[in-house]
Structure 1
Amino acid sequence: MAAATPTETPAPEGSGLGMDARLDQETAQWLRWDQNPLTSESVKQLIAGGNKEELRKCFGARMEFGTAGLRAPMGAGISRMNDLTIIQTTQGFCRYLEKQFSDLKQRGVVISFDARAHPASGGSSRRFARLAATAFITQGVPVYLFSDITPTPFVVYWDNGAQIISPHDRGISQAIEENLEPWPQAWEESLVDSSPLLHNPSASIGNDYFEDLKKYCFHRTVNKESKVKFVHTSVHGVGHEFVQLAFKAFDLAPPEAVPQQKDPDPEFPTVKYPNPEEGKGVLTLSFALADKIKAKIVLANDPDADRLAVAEKQDSGEWRVFSGNELGALLGWWLFTSWKEKNQDQSNLKDTYMLSSTVSSKILRAIALKEGFHFEETLTGFKWMGNRAQQLGDQGKTVLFAFEEAIGYMCCPFVLDKDGVSAAVICAELASFLATKNLSLSQQLNAIYVEYGYHITTASYFICHDQGTIQNLFGNLRNYDGKNNYPKMCGKFEISAIRDLTTGYDDSQPDKKAVLPTSKSSQMITFTFANGGVATMRTSGTEPKIKYYAELCAPPGNSDPEHLKKELDELVGAIEEHFFQPQKYNLQPKAE
């Protein structure tokens, strides 16, 4: 599970309970309800040892239901993922679904799991899935439980197939709080094995997925004859089998799997961080295998196979790991080019769309402006892009592609989410097609920038655990030279527009009101600069980070990327010095 840093919450106002008294109450209640001997024993030991600091980490605040659900380390307590919090969450979710869908007992729910586990607490994704299934089955709700590990994109979210957005997230959170006590049969996991309400959708969903995927194969003849070699790593996750099947569906020779990382392993023994977004460090074994078999392209999925990283061997002998924005440019260009070949009627362009998140590169906007289709940006995260894609589909529009800079790509909108399996095979077909023209991915990326304008991007973050400091930093930006005045300059760089999605302010709009949805619970300000630069500062929803994303966009014809990179570096330096002020706010930079 993705790590999140729980924050302590004071006792409810008027409760009369101090932190220690509330902690005693929470732990006592936990020990009454928890039937997992490993987690209950660990709490008893912390109490016996008087380890208040660790108890506060475990019981300081209940996990918040947010982006795509719950995120936290596995372990004991209401701040962690464990048997009891899974039961409580599922009970609340079940009650919420009963209110939303009068036919829930006909519809049923879909549940799947990946390979992650935490032996010290007895927790695993598979066990959590079975406990969740038990909660629904005891209430007479059919459950479609995948029988084995599955990529996230195979499982739909809400009834529209996209991730949950407001107001459902708030409603589910409230329902969880109202259903904390385990139901009578909540711990009877064996009910799952004998219930007539349990169904296994693995085969049918797998067949449907790969049949739908074949519709996005545009050059089957090229694929059959391709001599391009690929290395694939699933980084100890679920992706191996599914990427092999995707290549087969496209008539591509299967990629060579990194043997040490092919099989699921919740310990992730060969990598420091099991996230290909981290770059070259995660791909060391992939590069070694690729060099051995003389493959020039590496495809890497994250452990639940919804993200994709791509690296290419350069003529210099160096490996180039494409950024999420660069791969977004390549895939967007490819999907539009392939679509245009099949759709000669130019009038269809008016109903054709691409999407990206607001912190991602604006390269799709540049392509759309020249080619005549529509581009839209959404808030950060695929829950927004997936729901918008579904709305557009309902209006008879065609969504060709959506992406976010965090190596997430929706290449095939039959899945309304990022999908690393389809992205891997579509990238492989692109590389195979380019090879027939004696072009590399890097050369094609450069050709895209020459035609549509260079888009040079960078992103990083500072670590900050203190919410008060974060409030002060962003408050200072909103009151830069007096009350309610944003900065007009950042060092030598002139600011031409400001959008604040925390307050809803956007001075580029006639009424000064932001078009995108706003949220007072998170910080996000975007600065547009007179030199074509755009920079967004935002707080992370899951980690103690203040992130920033910067891009310099040049019009077509500007053929000096090195100058643009230098100017972007200067802009980022000014932003760090004048806006972040790391020394003043005691911010820790990203560890290299």
Structure 2
Amino acid sequence: MGDGDVNSNLLIARSTGDAQLDKAVGQWLSWDKNPKTKEQIENLVRNGMNKELRDRLCCRLTFGTAGLRSAMGAGFCYINDLTVIQSTQGMYKYLERCFSDFRQRGFVVGYDTRGQVTSSCSSKRLAKLTAAVLLAKGVPVYLFSKYVPTPFVPYAVRQLKAAAGVMITASHNRKEDNGYKVYWENGAQITSPHDKEILKCIEECVEPWNGSWNENLVDTSPLTQDPLEEISKIYMEDLKKICYHRELNAKTNLKFIHTSFHGVGHDYVQLAFKAFGFKPPIPVPEQKDPDPDFSTVKCPNPEEGESVLELSLRLAEKESARVVVATDPDADRLAVAELQKNGRWKVFTGNELAALFGWWMFRSWKVNSSKEADVKNVYMLATTVSSKILKAIALKEGFHFEETLPGFKWIGSRVKDLLDNGKEVLFAFEESIGFMCGTSVLDKDGVSAAVVIAEMASYLETKNLTLAQQLTEIYEMYGYHISKTSYFLCYEPSTIKRVFEKLRNFDSPKSYPKSCGAYGILHVRDVTTGYDSSQLNKKSVLPTSKNSQMITFTFQNGCVATLRTSGTEPKIKYYAEMCARPEQSDTTFLEDQLQKVIEALIENFLEPSKNGLIWRSV
């Protein structure tokens, strides 16, 4: 008997008095072959840390808005070697059931540059273990040999006609986190019922199979293929479909700064600019190379605004560049800043960028379409918590606008349905700086969005317009849309549940609030329960989403506000927007009304001091 076996037996002998926990501890120590995560559990057992052991071992990862996502470390509810193996075993079992030709079509695996020394976790290692599980079962695996942007995985799934794919990433989350993002054969993130069925299959396959730990298979199996060169080449060729001013791009005097936030974006954004005919953007040297510690920013999320873009803005001033583009660590989201004539920087919100993208993509379609092209066949989409600016443009221009639940998995699936029915989709977005320009990738894509915004800025420069000036022209044409989004941190799930249950039983049981302070409420929609007071049958048109909290209030003064929980972080988010008609140009009044509704919403519905919520300004 080896020393490890003796040690494990001694630990198991230290019964906690909780049969469920004792079983979970025994399973972990028996199955985990990563010495660092195994040691974490052993130390907790030695020190009698039963509560933490229960927290780590007596619950499992579940699918949120972006797949499985959690901190890296030991435990069945964390991201680590064992849980990734278990998840992939469940994936294999489900895909084998769904696709009779699974072994012919194969599976795509990509990864970002995250890593954690304390648990020996890195995205690359987790990707290799994902591949190993499938290779051991005779499934061909397209494993990228180098880190790639998240959009490359759904793009590769469609191009290679694979059954599915996984991207190992936690996107813009803190450095301690990682994730397992699943794409279906259609190139979109999985939606229900696939997520629930995969979880069932994971539960049936928790013990590692023979070969599941053998990451050497990646290098020795003839079933391993590296799609990097092919996918990168055809992705860049596909990008040219949404390039409309290549000659102008080559001649522009505008300079662009790009930061990849210590992630994967540098090489790929450089190639994208080349594909559009631009000179390469100037990279932020301190942030262009991968760094899993994200050492120059307090958080690796460009959505946080000017505070995390400081290095980019200072470099832009030094280089006399007017536009900054920032991709998040896995390069699926884009932030943009522009130097204004008053010398200040404007960091555009996701909703403002969507107004610009929506205008640009429709304008480009009109200019470049044949006379027979039917505007009624054209679509744009947005998540329901995003600005309604595309709806306003659609109403005036004659194309279709649709809303989905939050999360690009809903957008991607709906776009694929529209394409399959002969429709043309120009653009889709979510307010958290996620944009889909064209339909080569059925997910948000920061690489393509970065180069499209650069082309837009170059074109506007020839008209002596800035991005900010064009945004004003859009609002003057289609109506001002003033929005504000922020969030509160809340680390107690019971508190979150209490906040939302109170709203569902506000004045009496099963009674939603009829007003918020001085502001009357016209309609309430609760996607969690499927209720919508604006519908004749009181049922929400959007699908019910029982695993997340989301309630939308339409106020009598025209404001629309949504409270929802984040699918990836411990947050209660709020989204509020005032939509005006084109003739309503008093932005000061609109902003004042919006702010007053938000203050009433926070005071009356969230009650932060009472509930211990920590506000964060965005």
TM-score by length of 2: 0.91
- Counterpart contact for 1:290–1:297, Cα < 8 Å: yes
Match of 1:150 in 2: 148
Looking at structure 1, the residues matched to 362 and 564 of structure 2 have their Cα atoms a distance apart, in angstroms, of 31
Looking at structure 1, the residues matched to 58 and 475 of structure 2 have their Cα atoms a distance apart, in angstroms, of 49
SS of the residue 2:151 aligns to: helix
1:367 matches 2:429: no
Looking at structure 2, the residues matched to 522 and 45 of structure 1 have their Cα atoms a distance apart, in angstroms, of 34
In structure 2, give the amino acid aligned to 1:469: T
Match of 2:27 in 1: 29
Match of 2:463 in 1: 437
Match of 2:94 among 88, 93, 96: 96
Residue 166 to residue 18, structure 1, CA distance change in 2 (3 Å): farther
Looking at structure 1, the residues matched to 398 and 522 of structure 2 have their Cα atoms a distance apart, in angstroms, of 26
Residue ranges of structure 1 left out of the alignment (5+ in a row): 1-16
In structure 2, give the amino acid aligned to 1:277: E
Match of 1:169 in 2: 195
Residue 452 to residue 344, structure 1, CA distance change in 2 (3 Å): farther
- Counterpart contact for 1:216–1:412, Cα < 8 Å: yes
Match of 1:132 in 2: 130
Match of 1:115 in 2: 113
State the 1:415 CA deviation. 0.2
SS of the residue 1:496 aligns to: strand
- Counterpart contact for 1:231–1:289, Cα < 8 Å: yes
Residue by residue, what CA displacement relative to the aligned partner does 1:219-258 show, whole Å, maximum 9, x if unpaired? 1121111111000000110000000000000001110000
- Counterpart contact for 2:32–2:38, Cα < 8 Å: yes
**Which of 78-87 and 146-155 deviates more?**
78-87
Match of 2:159 in 1: none
In structure 1, give the amino acid aligned to 2:487: Y
Match of 2:345 in 1: 319
Match of 1:244 in 2: 270
Match of 1:76 in 2: 74
SS of the residue 1:264 aligns to: coil
Match of 1:64 among 62, 65, 70: 62
1:470 matches 2:468: no
SS of the residue 1:458 aligns to: strand
Residue by residue, what CA displacement relative to the aligned partner does 1:566-585 show, whole Å, maximum 9, x if unpaired? 11000101111111122333
SS of the residue 1:30 aligns to: helix
SS of the residue 1:295 aligns to: coil
Residue by residue, what CA displacement relative to the aligned partner does 1:347-386 show, whole Å, maximum 9, x if unpaired? 6111100000000000000000011100000000000000
Match of 1:49 among 38, 47, 50: 47
Match of 1:546 in 2: 572
- Counterpart contact for 1:68–1:164, Cα < 8 Å: no
**Which of 397-406 and 272-281 deviates more?**
272-281
Match of 1:292 in 2: 318
Looking at structure 2, the residues matched to 567 and 529 of structure 1 have their Cα atoms a distance apart, in angstroms, of 11
State the 1:208 CA deviation. 1.1
Matches within 5 A, 1:358-397: 358-397=384-423
State the 1:79 CA deviation. 1.7
Matches within 5 A, 1:360-509: 360-509=386-535
- Counterpart contact for 2:16–2:50, Cα < 8 Å: no
State the 1:469 CA deviation. 2.9
State the 1:215 CA deviation. 0.8
- Counterpart contact for 1:451–1:556, Cα < 8 Å: yes
In structure 1, give the amino acid aligned to 2:48: G
In structure 2, give the amino acid aligned to 1:389: V
Residue by residue, what CA displacement relative to the aligned partner does 1:269-297 show, whole Å, maximum 9, x if unpaired? 11110110111122111011101100011
Looking at structure 2, the residues matched to 235 and 547 of structure 1 have their Cα atoms a distance apart, in angstroms, of 24
Match of 2:382 among 352, 356, 374: 356
In structure 1, give the amino acid aligned to 2:463: K
1:86 matches 2:84: yes
RMSD over aligned Cα atoms: 1.5
Looking at structure 2, the residues matched to 519 and 207 of structure 1 have their Cα atoms a distance apart, in angstroms, of 38
Residue by residue, what CA displacement relative to the aligned partner does 1:48-75 show, whole Å, maximum 9, x if unpaired? 2223344344324211133332101111
Match of 1:267 among 285, 293, 304: 293
- Counterpart contact for 1:412–1:422, Cα < 8 Å: no
Looking at structure 2, the residues matched to 42 and 494 of structure 1 have their Cα atoms a distance apart, in angstroms, of 53
- Counterpart contact for 2:66–2:568, Cα < 8 Å: no
Residue 431 to residue 591, structure 1, CA distance change in 2 (3 Å): closer
Looking at structure 2, the residues matched to 57 and 294 of structure 1 have their Cα atoms a distance apart, in angstroms, of 52
- Counterpart contact for 2:20–2:58, Cα < 8 Å: no
- Counterpart contact for 2:16–2:22, Cα < 8 Å: no
Match of 1:198 in 2: 224
Residue by residue, what CA displacement relative to the aligned partner does 1:138-170 show, whole Å, maximum 9, x if unpaired? 111000111100000010221111110000000
In structure 1, give the amino acid aligned to 2:365: W
Match of 2:235 among 205, 209, 220: 209
- Counterpart contact for 2:249–2:458, Cα < 8 Å: yes
Match of 2:185 among 159, 177, 192: 159
In structure 2, give the amino acid aligned to 1:323: T
Match of 1:523 in 2: 549
Residue by residue, what CA displacement relative to the aligned partner does 1:9-43 show, whole Å, maximum 9, x if unpaired? xxxxxxxx998443232122111111111111222
Looking at structure 1, the residues matched to 506 and 369 of structure 2 have their Cα atoms a distance apart, in angstroms, of 51
Matches within 5 A, 1:219-230: 219-230=245-256
Residue 199 to residue 309, structure 1, CA distance change in 2 (3 Å): same
Looking at structure 1, the residues matched to 65 and 528 of structure 2 have their Cα atoms a distance apart, in angstroms, of 17
SS of the residue 2:214 aligns to: coil
Looking at structure 2, the residues matched to 473 and 234 of structure 1 have their Cα atoms a distance apart, in angstroms, of 37
SS of the residue 2:112 aligns to: coil
Looking at structure 1, the residues matched to 69 and 559 of structure 2 have their Cα atoms a distance apart, in angstroms, of 33
State the 1:466 CA deviation. 3.0
In structure 2, give the amino acid aligned to 1:503: T
TM-score by length of 1: 0.95
Residue 347 to residue 257, structure 1, CA distance change in 2 (3 Å): closer
Residue ranges of structure 2 left out of the alignment (5+ in a row): 1-14, 155-182
Looking at structure 2, the residues matched to 544 and 18 of structure 1 have their Cα atoms a distance apart, in angstroms, of 30
Looking at structure 2, the residues matched to 44 and 446 of structure 1 have their Cα atoms a distance apart, in angstroms, of 60
In structure 1, give the amino acid aligned to 2:417: Q
Looking at structure 1, the residues matched to 393 and 193 of structure 2 have their Cα atoms a distance apart, in angstroms, of 34
In structure 2, give the amino acid aligned to 1:117: G
Residue 517 to residue 18, structure 1, CA distance change in 2 (3 Å): farther
Looking at structure 1, the residues matched to 222 and 373 of structure 2 have their Cα atoms a distance apart, in angstroms, of 51
Match of 2:244 among 200, 218, 222: 218
- Counterpart contact for 2:66–2:567, Cα < 8 Å: no
SS of the residue 2:70 aligns to: coil
Residue 508 to residue 591, structure 1, CA distance change in 2 (3 Å): closer
